[in-house]
């Protein structure tokens, strides 16, 4: 029994010695030793096929809304909860107090941006009002701009003008894109007088006006020749090298 146990214990030692001797003979007998480069080339079959991953890198699969991967889980939950209870004012206020107020600054802004993108303007205004009450809030023209553009796109011009006035109280000035979209919104709603009020505000703005809002006004004011002539005259003075197109008289009559 002792001999058997000894032979079993010695077997691994003898096999390892045998393998070492064999490898030594092979290396000494072969005149050309394999270079490391050839070994690396032999292992190329282990590389994954291009376009396919052999592991899950944590990124979500399937169609996603834009920027979803930049939004945290808590912010996503808040968006879903707000959309679920948007028709119930009492429950909506509970969600705002219990969840929206707990969000960090970047998550709160991400929720606002996503609601604007989904055209949930009612909820976006609610979240913006919460943001304005935070200690870290500073007047930001881009926060106003994105929300005003979303409201104008949704044809909610009354709410857009409330934000417009609030922006002015914070000594912020709209840019050319904001002027353009608000003017377009009023013309779309058949309110040329309101569009002209925004136009007068644009002319008085410290930033020089751009060409696009003039073009939109000149097109939208075709049924109102007196207003159009005023805009055309200003356009020719500010942009003397540009040409204001007049439609044929037989279609729109004489201006």
The predicted pLDDT at position 165 comes to: 93
* DSSP character at residue 68: G
The predicted pLDDT at position 254 comes to: 52
Mean pLDDT by 10-residue block, N- to C-terminus, for the chain (255 residues)? 50 53 50 47 44 41 43 90 94 94 93 94 96 94 94 94 93 92 93 94 89 92 90 92 71 51
The predicted pLDDT at position 245 comes to: 74
Predicted TM-score (pTM) of the model is: 0.67
Angle at 113 between CA 110 and CA 119, to 5 degrees: 140
Neighbouring CB atoms inside 10 A of 202's CB total 22
CB 157 within 8 A of CB 192: no
Neighbouring CB atoms inside 10 A of 230's CB total 16
The predicted pLDDT at position 13 comes to: 53
Rounded Cα gap, residues 123 and 83, in angstroms: 8
Going along the chain from its start, the domains and CATH numbers come out as: 67-137 (1.25.40.10), 138-255 (1.25.40.10)
The predicted pLDDT at position 211 comes to: 92
CB 178 within 8 A of CB 212: no
CB 205 within 8 A of CB 173: yes
Q: What is the CA 233 to chain-centroid distance, rounded?
A: 39
């Amino acid at each position: 029994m002792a001999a058997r146990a000894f032979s079993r214990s010695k077997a691994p030692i003898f096999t390892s010695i045998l393998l070492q001797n064999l490898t030594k003979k092979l290396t000494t007998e072969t005149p050309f030793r394999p270079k490391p480069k050839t070994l690396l080339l032999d292992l190329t079959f282990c590389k994954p096929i291009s376009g396919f991953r052999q592991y899950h890198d944590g990124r979500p699969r399937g169609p996603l809304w834009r920027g979803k991967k930049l939004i945290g889980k808590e912010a996503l939950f808040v968006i879903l909860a707000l959309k679920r209870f948007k028709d119930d004012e009492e429950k909506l206020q509970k969600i705002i107090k219990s969840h929206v107020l707990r969000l960090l600054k970047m998550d709160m802004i991400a929720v606002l941006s996503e609601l604007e993108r989904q055209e949930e303007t009612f909820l976006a205004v609610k979240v913006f009002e919460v943001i304005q009450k935070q200690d870290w809030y500073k007047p930001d023209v881009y926060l106003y701009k994105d929300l005003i553009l979303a409201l104008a796109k949704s044809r909610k011009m009354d709410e857009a003008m409330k934000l417009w006035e609030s922006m002015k109280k914070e000594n912020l000035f709209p840019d050319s894109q904001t002027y353009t979209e608000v003017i377009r919104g009023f013309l779309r709603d058949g309110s040329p007088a309101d569009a002209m009020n925004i136009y007068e505000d644009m002319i008085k703005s410290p930033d020089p006006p751009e060409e696009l809002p003039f073009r939109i006004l000149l097109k939208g004011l075709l049924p109102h020749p007196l207003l159009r002539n005023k805009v055309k005259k200003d356009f020719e003075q500010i942009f003397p090298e540009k040409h204001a197109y007049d439609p044929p008289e037989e279609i729109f009559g004489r201006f």
